[in-house]
DNA sequence: TGATATACCTTGACAGACGATGTATGTCGT
DNA sequence: ACGACATACATCGTCTGTCAAGGTATATCA
């Protein structure tokens, strides 16, 4: 009943920030990485990916530039700003807190009174 | 930047199923439980709660009946159906899988190549 | 009398995810 | 030469879940 959309919703931003934290990258590769890491179980759909890029760039957490490929399709690369790095760290901490709470809420561990 | 809505989105169903897994309950108490468990950090808003009840009942995973309170406000109790129990267990398993993947995706642990 | 707690409910708006669709370049097989 | 496929980016319109705002009703306590 749970689908990819609901599972990732709210974390797409952080997933993209994570991909960019170790170096500039571009849409197609990020999309592929997500599929590889999750064994194809979860995926950031292209429509989601590109609208998210727009949103993050408007927010000033990423910046983009065109790569100078010789041959092949053009690539728009994205770069994490300082603010982006800060947000990434913050979101990681938040995920730790929130995922622990969801664990509690959905009864993954029995709580003693 | 992450807010309660985004964090819980996709898990409200499971949270409610979890609350009902140990016995029938009603909206107000479930809402309070979520706040207590998370120390007030996360909360299921009433509008969300009641629209979710409708959706789950339509789906046949919960059933409702009016309590016979003598005095005080009336309460609509909810009961997990067999299908509801099944879905709850399934969603718990899914959460284990998906949360591990999100951990990977947002770089909570460094992966060796 | 009115404030507070308990308890339920609906409407309308918003925001994020995504299917469908489109564009363009380059490679490989036949 | 032609079509299939992979790479790569982009937008539009729809769907769905969340929630602020508003409402109803009962009981208790100051």
Q: DSSP secondary structure string, chain A? A: ---HHHHHTTTHHHHHHHHHHTS-EEHHHHHHHHHHHTTTSS---HHHHHHHHHHHHHTTSEEEEE---SSSS--EEEEE-HHHHHHHHHHHHHHHHHHHHHHHHTTSSPPP-
Residues B36-79: tens digit of each pLDDT: 999 999 999 999 999 999 999 999 999 999 998 888 889 999 99
Q: Which residue has the tokens 């879905």?
A: B87
Does the structure show a pLDDT above 50 at B111? Answer: no
What is the Cα–Cα distance from B6 to A102, expressed in whole angstroms?
12
With a CB-CB cutoff of 8 Å, which residues 5-24 of chain B face chain A? Answer: 5-11, 13-15, 17-18, 21
- Sheet of B62-66, strand order: B25-26, B76-80, B62-66
What is the Cα–Cα distance from B39 to B56, expressed in whole angstroms?
26
CA nearest to A34, candidates A53, A14, A54, A15:
A15
Please judge whether B18 and A107 are an interchain contact, meaning their C-beta atoms are less than 8 angstroms apart: yes
Q: Going from the N-terminus, what domains does chain B have, and what CATH number goes with each?
A: 4-105 (1.10.10.10)
Residues A22-76: tens digit of each pLDDT: 999 999 999 999 999 999 999 999 999 999 999 999 999 999 999 988 888 899 9
Residues A69-97: tens digit of each pLDDT: 888 889 999 999 999 999 999 999 999 99
Average pLDDT over residues A85-113: 86
**What local confidence, expressed as pLDDT, does residue A90 receive?**
94
- Which of residues A70 and A99 earns the better pLDDT score? A99
**What local confidence, expressed as pLDDT, does residue A106 receive?**
94
CA nearest to B20, candidates B35, B33, B39:
B33
- Work out the pLDDT band at A2, boundaries 50, 70, 90: low
**What local confidence, expressed as pLDDT, does residue B113 receive?**
43
Q: Pick out residues 45-104 of chain A having their CB under 7 A from any atom of nucleic acid strand C.
A: 45-48, 51-52, 55, 71-73
**What local confidence, expressed as pLDDT, does residue B7 receive?**
78
Q: Is B102 on the interface with A (CB under 8 A)?
A: yes
Residue lying closest to nucleotide D24, CA to C1': B73
Most confident residue range from A65-69, A92-96, B81-85, B92-96: B81-85
Task: With H, G, I as helix, E, B as strand and everything else as coil, classify residue B27.
Answer: helix
Residue B30 CB partners (closer than 8 Å, separation 6+): B16, B19, B20, B44, B49
The neighbouring-strand residues paired with A65 are A77
Q: Is the pTM of this model over 0.75?
A: yes
Does the structure show a pLDDT above 90 at B92? Answer: yes
């Amino acid at each position: 009943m749970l689908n990819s959309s609901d599972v990732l919703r709210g974390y797409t931003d952080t997933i993209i920030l994570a991909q960019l934290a170790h170096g500039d990258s571009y849409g197609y590769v990020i999309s592929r990485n997500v599929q590889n890491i999750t064994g194809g179980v979860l995926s950031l759909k292209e429509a989601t990916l590109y609208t998210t890029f727009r949103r993050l760039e408007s927010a000033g957490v990423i910046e983009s530039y065109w790569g100078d490929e010789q041959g092949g399709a053009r690539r728009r690369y994205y770069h994490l700003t300082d603010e982006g790095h800060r947000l990434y760290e913050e979101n990681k901490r938040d995920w730790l807190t929130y995922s622990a709470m969801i664990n509690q809420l959905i009864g993954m561990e029995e709580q003693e009174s």
